Amino acid sequence: MSDTSLICFQNIIFKNRNMDLIFSFPGGESCRGFFIVSLLVEMAASSGIGALEVMHAMKSSDVAGIQNGLVKVTQSLKKMKETFKLMHSKFKLNLSPIFVSGWRDNPMLPNGLLYEGVSTEPMFLSGGSAAQSSAIQCFDALLSIQHDDETGAFLTRMRDYMPPAHCQLIETLSARPSLRDLILSCSSSDLCQAYNSCVSAMVDLRSYHLFAVQKYIVGPGNRTMGCPLRGVGTMLNDKGTGGSNLMGFLKGVCNTTKKALIS
C-alpha cells in the first residue's frame, strides 16, 4: 500500500490534521482514515534509516555502528506500531474492504479484468496489502528474516506495487551478507540483544497487524455476505485484499519472524 498511500495525497505538510485524499471510495471518514493511517505508518518508518547505517557498519565489522543502527530501527518499529493504533483510537474505521481488494486469485473474476483502450489482454492485479509496505520488507531484508518459499514469492510479487526506488533498496539490502550470521559469529552479547530487540519489535508490529486485519478486514468481509458483492466478502475472509491466504499468511510471517530470534 506504500505507493497508493504516497500518491493519493495532496502535496502539503505531512501532519494527520492537514492531509487529505485526492480521491476517495465510499466510506467517508473511514476511507480517509484508512489511507491516512497507512501513510503515517510508512512515515513512522522513516526514522529507521538506521538500516543504512547498519549496512555501512557491516562493511568494516563496526560492532558499535551496527548496534546503534539496530537501536534506531527498533525505535522506528515501535513508533510504527503506536501509529498503527490510530486505526481504532482515532478514525473509528468502518470501511468495506471490497473497495480496496483486487481480483488476482479472486474466484469472482477468474479470467481477470479487461480495460478497454488500455490493454488487449485481461489484467490480474492485487488489491492494497500491508505486504506492499516498502519499510517492512526493508526491515525483513536487513534482519535476514527468511520466509518460506510460497510466502517469499508473494512478498516479492508485492514489490511490483512499490515505487521503483523502494524496490531497489530492498533488493540491495537482500543482496548484502547476512546480518544475523555476522552477529552469530560475534561474541558481543550487547549486539545480540540489540538484534533480538529489533526482531521482537517486528513481531509486535506484525501481531498488532494481525489483530487489525481480524477487526477491519475479516469482520467487514463477513458483513458483506448479504450484498450483491457477497462473493468478494467470502473471498476476503480467505484471501485478503492483496490476494494472499489471509490469516494463514499473517500468522506464518509472524512465526517466521519469531524464528529469527537468537537464543
- According to the annotation, is 209 in a ligand binding site? yes
Q: How far apart are the C-alpha atoms of 130 and 210, rounded to whole Å?
A: 11
102-107 long-range contacts, CB within 8 A, separation 24+: 102/126, 102/127, 102/128, 102/241, 102/242, 102/243, 103/127, 104/243, 105/239, 105/243, 106/232, 106/235, 106/239, 106/243, 107/231, 107/235
Q: How far apart are the C-alpha atoms of 229 and 108, rounded to whole Å?
A: 9
Give strand ranges (E) for the chain: none
Q: How far apart are the C-alpha atoms of 21 and 32, rounded to whole Å?
A: 7
Nearest to 48 by CA among 140, 131, 129: 140
Q: Binding site membership: which residues? A: 209
Q: Binding site membership for heme b: which residues? A: 209
